[in-house]
Chain A
Amino acid sequence: MSEVQQQPGRGFPGGYGQGPRAALLLLADGRFPAGGHAHSGGVEAAVADGRVHDAASLAAHCRGRLHTTGLVAAALAAAATAGADPLGLDQAADARTPSAALRTVSRRLGRQLLRAARAVWPAPALDDLAAALPRGAHQPVVLGLAAAAAGLGPLDAAYAAAYESVSAPATAAVRLLGLDPFHAAAVLARLAAETDSVAAEAAAAGRRAAADGPGTLPAPGAPLLDVLAEAHAAWPVRLFAS
């Protein structure tokens, strides 16, 4: 089904994972110019309902997101880095994102990340993806291809996606709740071991999907994130885009 033939690690003769590791810090940096800072990972809607109101409830929100949509995103990203067909992964992301609002957000973030990645780590695979999906590919798929273009491996891509799934809500909660930034950072620090295990699970699943097809990817959903995302998208005024 693919018109996009991705060669992992093109530009890095030894294959993926052969580039400078510090590229991962750049890719996962919240200041990387890919638009992620405008999204709260569902926390804005949760704060409005009183579901997230302090560091403990923020931690519970982040933990639930990490093990559900965070795992899915990390596995999709790892699969893309490992050379799975990006268009097949994009369809798999659709099937794993029942909320129309969240599909729209993911494609918008994917478009923004692709623009940045093509400038930072030019690679034919990124150009091919932009040509095949001009309205934007799902963000984790772009993230995986960007990681490959930077010479990173599937586990690196999984780390970037898994970390992003918790760092976005934690950062947003500082603004939304007036939470002490030290407390928000402590939430992320306490999730570090779980982030490790999710990234490892996602990398294994991503490699498997590259061999056996995207149907083998994990698909855990987060019903409340899905429902609240639809509500949030209908707000007339909001601080974050999602």
Chain B
Amino acid sequence: MADGRGGTALPLLAGDGPLALRRTGPVPAPGAAHVTVVGAMSAPLGGDRLRIEAEAEPGAHLTVGASAATVSLPGPHGEQAAYDVRLRVGTGARLDWLPEPVIAAAGSRLRMATRAELADGACLLLREEQILGRHAEPTGDLATRLTVVLAGRTLLDQELSFGPGASPGWDGPAVLGGYRAVGQLLYVAPDLTPPAPYVTPTTGPDGVAALTPLTGPAALVTALAPDGHRLRRLLDELQERLTAPVLTMAPGTATGAVPPTGSAAALNGTPL
């Protein structure tokens, strides 16, 4: 929430189970609050139910990052884990949701759902990265869904499933084409001029990426690469085409979450 002095207050910052939340510095922009999600233990394990919520109240600017990648690991009985992310951004607020990648370790099964609800006039920068297995191991199962609703209208709804339990064809030339890392970067801003589509060369060794406008004040980068480092490089490179480097908005709140067998965290940012 806005603190009334041009900054962002964090009236709620609560985590338990494997998700610990820390207010950290340096602040990325004047008036912003920065929170880092710290993995306090190995998670998610098969069977875990994790939830994290973040809300930037009107006028707030909240940025959330993570201290390390999330490694999805198999549970003792092969159960699926679930990880739900709920984001809310109010009018005139901005949320930068920039976690580290999710790595689908061999044998793991994870369903991850991210839902962002934006008020009219809200701003969101969101990055998602998925890595198919740790180094030189086969990938586990990961099913993700990203749903972004702006002022009541669904702006983006995308699922991606890969791994031995996914529908066939996921590793073929239409979907992931043998790449081991895939990611998206979404930018929603009320004053956004739709960027012209841009594509990297499509046959190089470092992966491929495209920037495309969505139906609304938003643009999306989709990238595929042989590994997480090259994926991040592509996303960073195209982000420069996407966002004006202005980070001068008021503050936000964040909430993090835990599994029912586990943990939840919540961040709640309000302008100070």
Contacts and interface: CB of A to CB of B under 8 A. Distances in A.
Contact of B173 (A57, A218, A230, A231): A57
Interface in B215-271: 215, 220, 222-224
A1 B169 CA distance: 36
Given A95-B156, A95-B157, A223-B224, A230 B212 contact: yes
B224 A68 contact: no
Interface in B123-167: 145, 147, 153-161, 167
Interface stretch (A45-53, A141-149, A152-160, A181-189): A45-53
A222 B214 contact: no
B41 interface: no
A224 B173 contact: yes
Interface string B150-191: 000111111111000001111111111101001000000000
Contact of B154 (A63, A95, A224): A95
Contacts of B223: 227
B224 to A, nearest CB: 6
Interface residues of B, number: 40
Contacts of B199: 227, 230-231, 234
A67 B197 CA distance: 26
**B153, B155, B174 pick with most chain A CB within 10 angstroms:** B174
Contacts of A63: 168-169, 172, 174
A219 B172 contact: no
Interface string B198-216: 1100110000111011110
A62 B179 CA distance: 18
Interface residues of A, number: 44
Is chain B's binding surface mostly helix, strand, loop or mixed? strand
Interface string B94-127: 0000000000000000000000000000000000
A99 interface: yes
A42 interface: yes
A38 interface: no
A194 B159 contact: no
A53 B272 CA distance: 59
Given A95-B157, A218-B159, A103 B215 contact: yes
B169 A64 contact: yes
A96 interface: yes
Contacts of A218: 159
A91 B154 CA distance: 8
18 contacts: A49-B203, A52-B173, A60-B172, A61-B172, A61-B173, A64-B169, A65-B169, A68-B174, A91-B154, A95-B157, A219-B159, A224-B174, A224-B175, A226-B210, A227-B209, A227-B224, A230-B197, A231-B210
Nearest to B183: A223
Interface string A59-91: 011111111100000000000000000000001
Nearest to A67: B167
Interface in A157-191: none
Given A46-B173, A220-B167, A225-B175, 7 more contacts: A65-B174, A101-B212, A220-B160, A224-B175, A228-B208, A230-B197, A231-B210
A94 B179 CA distance: 26
Contacts of A52: 173
A223 B154 contact: no
A65 B198 CA distance: 23
Interface string A30-56: 000000000000100110011110000
B212 A99 contact: yes
Contacts of B198: 230
Contacts of A219: 145, 147, 157-159
Contact of B215 (A46, A94, A215, A223): A94
Given A51-B177, A221-B158, A231 B145 contact: no
Nearest to B209: A227
Contacts of B222: 98, 223, 226-227
Contacts of B174: 42, 46, 60-65, 68, 222, 224-225
B212 A64 contact: no
Interface in A209-242: 215, 218-228, 230-231, 233-234
Contacts of A103: 215
Given A57-B173, A103-B215, A234 B197 contact: yes
